[in-house]
Structure 1
Amino acid sequence: MKPLRTQLVDSDVARVLALFARHGGRRLALGAFLATVVVLAGIALLGTSGWFITATALAGAGALFNVFVPSAAIRLLALGRTFGRYAERLVTHDATLAVLAALRERLFRGWAGPDAARALLRRPSRLLFRLTSDIDALESVYLRLLVPALAAGGAALLAGLVLGAIDWRLGAAVCAWLVVAGTGTAVVVARRARPAALRRARALERLRAGAIDLVAGQADLAMAGRLPAQCDQLYYRDLQLARADDALHRLETRAGWTYAAAGHVTVAGVLLAAGALARHGAVGAPGAALALLVALAALEPFAALRRGAIEAGRSWLAARRIAPRLRAQGVPCAQQLSAGAASGDALTLQDVTVQHSGRECAALRDASLRIAAGERVAVVGASGAGKSTLLALAAGELAPQSGTVRALPCTWLTQRTELFQDTLRDNLLLAAPQAGDERLWEALRAAGLEQDVRRFARGLDTPLGEGGLGLSGGQSRRLALARLLLRDAAFWLLDEPTEALDGATAADVLARLARHAAGRTVLVATHLRREAALADRLLVMRGGRLVADVRRGTNEFDAALSALRPD
């Protein structure tokens, strides 16, 4: 019985293969068929040509020979092989790219569930490698393993049939030898290459992550005196990668020698057998030439497995990394946010507990809450009290360990302004992809950013740097506010919307938020008095618990508001 870990890995590989079949079944099968036909046509072309040349030479000595049929067959096989090769490359690569694109979409959607944003912020480079390097590694499963294996199997079968027509013992022996030598070599190479391939994949990932850290944090590393150490670490990772590459290159070279030796053994064996058969009159010179050249060409498709066997370990690792996320795709979670909340409510929590990974204490404990549609509510408390966790639950970015959460569709203005290295227009269109320029300018006007953008030489087409580089802090916040206003949502989540803004800018942003929040449900997480003043209801949190729920017009509300940090 296989160990549990091996069973899980095998199931992961099987799941990835099933997804290949589901997303590109017919095209993948057509590509494999064309590849097999091309290989068979090449073997038939070589064998027929040798038979034809030999027979023609003998015909020159006085024998009668019809040259039209074999010459036509040679032309047909040559043309068929040429066009078949083009069609095979077109179909197999198109099908592979389509399947990989579908897997990327499926994987990306798998990361769009609860807690996805937190995982992305914790390990951005690793998740990027899953979408790029690991998905790319899966192409070897089809292009360099399955397709060559089918073509090689067809070649062995054709060689066995052709040589079996001369002598059944020769055909059976050659077919068995091709399968054993060709497939056996590939299996041995795959087993021996796997450790080096795994080391190479991990070293490459660590090298890329280290290079990203070096480029992004070089100023901090220099100030901390860690720049030489980071460079030394990158050198060590690069050395690991070079050693793994060297091991794989040596193994591939030895595999090439093995296939070459197997080819020489095949040709020598068929030559001796053909000589023995010719001595007994069982085969003529043209037939012997046909047998020799078919045997010579039949092992070549097996040699094409060499590259796939070298990369099999990398593909296996990629399948193991990706399949668990694909396995979770489409499986509903009992704690997922529903499409809507109970009648008349914008948000409902019942006995909800949330505990972040790596933390001993729960971020939220047995929380029950009801916010009616149209209410303006502020969640206040010290840092770490659970305010952002509550907003993440409402936004669907976090799944509770227990309890139920129901919420209306919402728009979340996070504490950190998320802008991308793109134009102003495209940063705005993230909120409303179909919006025209008039609507974009209207949103900028409502956010108080219109005049600033009009002063830019390129207006809405002004490019921004990474993270919105090129805009001041206040301008970045106003751009995020414009994006919020573009999104047609009845429920707003605001996480410290004016943090790190100067007093005048903060007051203007809050005034604009209040003006455009009419008719909407607003939930604000804050520890600032100026932001909490937007609300008509205060929820006081302490240590992950809701300890107070007070409304405007009461002494408790005034006291809770006064206890907050002043502007």
Structure 2
Amino acid sequence: MCREHKVGFKEFPCQRQSREVKKRPTMRDKTRSSPGSAPTTDASSARAGGRRHSPARAWLKQQGGLARRNARHVILLSLTGTILAVGQAWCLAAVFGGTLGHAMVGGLPYATAFLGIAAIRAFLGAMTERYAAAAGAAARRRLRDQVMARLLAIGPSLLRGYHSAELAAIAVDRIEALDGFFSRWVPAASLAILSPAIILLAVLPLDWRAALALLAAGLLVPFGMALSGIGAAVASRRQFVAMSRLQARFLDRVRGIATIVLSGRTEDEAIALGRAADELRRRTMRVLRVAFLSSAVLDLAMAAALVGLALHYGQAILSGQAGHPARALFVLLLVPEFFAPLRAFSLAYQDKMHATGAAEAIAALPEPPERPVLQVRTIEARGVTVTFDHVSLVWDETRGPALHDVSFRIPAGETVVLAGPSGSGKSSIMEILLGFARPTSGRVALNGMDITDIVPAALSRLTAWVGQKPMLFAGTIRDNILFARPEASEQDLLDAIRHAHVDDFARALPDGLETMIGEGGYGLSGGQAQRVAIARAYLRNAPLLLLDEPTSHLDPVTEADILDSLKRLAAGRTVLLASHSAAAHAFPGHRIDLRDGSVVSAPFPTMYGKVMA
């Protein structure tokens, strides 16, 4: 895993490195430069212009097309409300015309009709909001499922290029920021054209000059929005960057709070967090400033149209050329209705700018590995033979290959210890076998079947893994063990607990297996956490056991106990044990020595001749 997460006000070094690796192109890579080009930093984001935004815009366009289907009810209800608004304005003009002594039929029928239409419009407005909220929720749910599926398909290797807080922000905050895009912008973009057109068609037969004035004032709105939109996109993107950095910094400081306190850096880190929070506040205020500017342009256009038409009709009435006053009142009452969808469009435009900033992060996620159309869903699980045939793996071309022309074969039921210094390729071999990485070249086979042809679910059933830092979740000890196989019977659970010697320390706990532990195993010692992980591996009962530094950071006595448990777990299974420990190197089995990503020595003669499946 990447060791260079330094969360501050610069881009994470590991993120910069991973984005320079020539892997499968992401949505950004397909429309930008070559994979080896340097990423655009926040300081130069404004200069990147449309070249940087095109993937996000293409992604938003695609999402907008999907969301428009769910917005059909919102659009139809809103158009119906606009038509009713025309009738309501006519009724109100007739009532006021009657009070001026120019009654056309009588005020009571028009007043009754006005109240009835108002009730219907209120009902339609409530239904519109309900359908809009439902459309936004459905879109967010669909997107979150897609993003989570992509994160799971890519696997832990994604953490080489992204901070965990950044991924959490993408899956939660940035998808939530798309709510306004789906619930407001998508219908508003259609209604901004259709609803004013209905108003113009109603005004045109009565006064073509008034219709032309409304059209001219309406055209000022998109012009003003275009001017403010340039700044809105940049401000929104920078706000998201500041938010992600603050989240990452805060999460890192919470994880390392003991180190901060012991180093006497509490005040320094508090000041740094305050500066990051203040930076987010300033960037948020810039977004609001741009939003107010766009709203001011719309208010100015509406005020100009309303004042101009009022002066026009006032002079006409004084000169006796206005005809029936109700017509003038009707046109004036329709001015707010004409600008209402444009106002909604202007407000929703800010939602679109927020969505553009969020879409950049989502669209930049790397594509999951391409898998063959036909994949093996079942594989013989009685015994697993592992074959590496001239395998190379490149994480970062600037640092050379993590594995280079690695070939070996481990027969079913054999145990092999992977030995070598840090960076020799032990963890890379583990990640390939876990399905978290794919070889750059060469072939990896399980029982003769190419590992890339095996569906992830089938590969997961074949493997059990115990790492140097077991991932324990906040919950009971029982729940953490059952995580490996939730459908396991109570007897299987008790057998796993006994073999892993979890019961040795669980008996002393107040609630036994029901004892609550914190995130990351808080409340358990390192050895106890490893025993929980071993119990998971027992419960999983997989034929291929992968042990990656399972005794690191443990004292000699605890290490000996853990290795004794692992020896019993290894019986009858194919085992790969990667470790620096001398005690672990004495683990019964064969040994493969690695150096600089290459095999130095291996136990089976076939490793240097033709590799056999």
Residue 50 of structure 1 is aligned with which of 92, 116, 134?
A: 92
Partner in structure 1 of residue 519 of structure 2: 466
1:201 counterpart residue number: 240
Q: 1:383 to 1:268 in 2, by over 3 A?
A: closer
CA distance in 2, matches of 1:81, 1:330: 51
Summarize deviations over 1:394-416 as a string: whole Å, max 9, x none.
11112222222234532221221
Aligned to 1:264: 303
Mapping 1:312-351, distance limit 5 Å: 312-325=352-365, 328-329=367-368, 331-332=370-371, 346-351=385-390
> CA distance change for structure 1 residues 29 and 374 in 2, over 3 Å: closer, same or farther?
farther
How many angstroms apart in 2 are the aligned matches of 1:120 and 1:421? 25
CA separation of 1:51 and 1:132: change in aligned 2, threshold 3 A: same
For residue 349 of structure 2, the aligned residue among 304, 309, 323 is 309
Within-5 A mapping of 1:93-492: 93-114=133-154, 116-117=156-157, 119=159, 123-178=163-218, 180-275=219-314, 283-325=323-365, 328-329=367-368, 331-332=370-371, 346-357=385-396, 360-407=399-446, 409-435=462-488, 437-492=490-545
Q: Give me the TM-score of the superposition, normalised by structure 1.
A: 0.85
Q: Measure the CA separation in 1 of the matches of 2:87 and 2:487.
A: 57
CA distance in 2, matches of 1:507, 1:223: 31
Which residue is equivalent to 1:13? 57
CA distance 1:250–1:382, change in 2 (3 Å): closer
Aligned partners of 1:48 and 1:290 also within 8 Å: yes
Measure the CA separation in 2 of the matches of 1:3 and 1:425. 49
User: In 1, distance between residues paired with 2:275 and 2:371?
Assistant: 44
On the 8 A contact 1:415/1:495 being kept in 2, the answer is: yes
- Cα separation, partners in 2 of 1:397 and 1:469, compared to 1, 3 Å: same
Deviations 1:80-124 (A, max 9, x none): 322222222222222222222222222222222456346169611
d(CA) in 2 for partners of 1:57 and 1:330? Answer: 74
Assess if the C-alpha contact under 8 Å between 2:432 and 2:439 holds in 1.
yes
Specify the alignment match of 1:65 in structure 2: 106
Give the match for residue 74 of structure 2: 31
1:174 deviates by 1.7
- Helix, strand or coil for the counterpart of 2:71? helix
Q: Are the counterparts in 1 of residues 544 and 573 from structure 2 also a CA contact under 8 Å? A: yes
Equivalent of residue 577 in structure 2, options 513, 524, 531: 524
Query: Does structure 2 conserve the Cα–Cα contact (< 8 Å) formed by 1:149 and 1:305?
Result: yes
Contact 1:356-1:362 at 8 Å conserved across structures:
yes
Per the alignment, in what secondary structure is the counterpart of residue 399 of structure 1? coil
Other structure's SS at 1:129 match: helix
Q: Judging changes above 3 Å, is the alpha-carbon distance between structure 1 residues 11 and 205 closer, same or farther for their aligned structure 2 residues?
A: closer
Give, in whole Å, the separation in 2 of the partners of 1:200 and 1:493.
Answer: 43
CA separation of 1:331 and 1:74: change in aligned 2, threshold 3 A? farther
Report the AA paired with residue 497 of structure 2: L
Give CA-to-partner distance per residue, 1:422-453, whole Å, 9 cap, x none: 33233223212333555433322232113533
Answer yes or no: is the 8 Å Cα contact 2:466–2:537 preserved in 1.
yes
**Residues 373/99 of structure 1: CA separation in 2 closer, same or farther (3 Å cut):** farther
Inter-partner Cα distance in structure 1 for 2:353 and 2:491: 54
Q: After superposition, what is the alpha-carbon deviation per residue over 1:338-392, rounded to whole angstroms, capped at 9, x for unaligned?
A: 7678998532222211233376242211012222333222222233322121111
RMSD (Å), alpha carbons? 3.4
TM-score if structure 2 supplies the norm length?
0.79
Contact kept, 8 Å, 2:392 with 2:405, in 1: the verdict is yes
| Paired letter, 2:106 | F
Q: Is the 8 Å Cα contact of residues 341 and 348 (structure 1) preserved in structure 2?
A: no
1:560 is matched with which residue?
none
1:90–1:388: structure 2 CA closer, same or farther, 3 Å change rule? same
- 342-351 vs 476-485, greater mean Cα deviation: 342-351
Q: CA deviation at 1:518?
A: 3.6
Q: State the alpha-carbon separation in 2 of the partners of residues 32 and 20 from structure 1.
A: 14
**1:561: which partner in 2?**
none
What is the aligned residue count?
Answer: 544
**Equivalents in 1 of 2:442, 2:352: separation in Å?**
44
User: Which has the larger displacement, 129-138 or 504-513?
Assistant: 504-513
Aligned counterpart, 1:538: 591
1:350 touches 1:368 (CA, 8 Å); kept in 2? yes
Which of 85, 88, 92 matches 2:128? Answer: 88
- Secondary structure of 1:325's partner? coil
- Measured in 2, the distance between the counterparts of 1:267 and 1:66 equals 25
For 1:478 and 1:244, the matched residues in 2 are separated by: 48
